[in-house]
Amino acid sequence: MAALFETSGDGGAAVALDERQISILRSLAVQLLELIGPGAGPADGDADDPLAALFAEGPSEPPSDPALARLFPDAYGEPGQERDEEARRLSAEFRRFTETELRTAKRENLLLMVRGLDAAAGDASESGGGAVLTLSRDDARRWLGALNDLRLAIGSRLGLSDDADSERLFDIPPDDPERPLVIAYSWLGHLQETLIETLMP
Residue pair 75/62 in contact (Cβ under 8 Å)? The answer is no
| Higher pLDDT among residues 109 and 179, named by residue | 109
Range with top average pLDDT, 5-9, 140-144, 173-177, 196-200: 140-144
| Higher pLDDT among residues 129 and 15, named by residue | 15
The pLDDT tens digits of the residues spanning 138-170 come to 999 999 999 999 999 999 998 887 655 666 677
pLDDT bracket for residue 89 (50, 70, 90)? confident
User: Tell me, what's the pLDDT at 25?
Assistant: 96
- Maximum separation of any 2 CA atoms in the chain, in Å: 59
User: Tell me, what's the pLDDT at 62?
Assistant: 82
The pLDDT tens digits of the residues spanning 25-38 come to 999 999 999 999 87
Poorest-pLDDT segment among 19-33, 50-64, 120-134: 50-64
User: Tell me, what's the pLDDT at 114?
Assistant: 97
* pTM of the shown model: 0.85
| Higher pLDDT among residues 38 and 51, named by residue | 38
pLDDT bracket for residue 9 (50, 70, 90)? confident
Half-sphere exposure for 32 (CA within 13 Å, toward CB): 32
Residue pair 1/187 in contact (Cβ under 8 Å)? The answer is yes
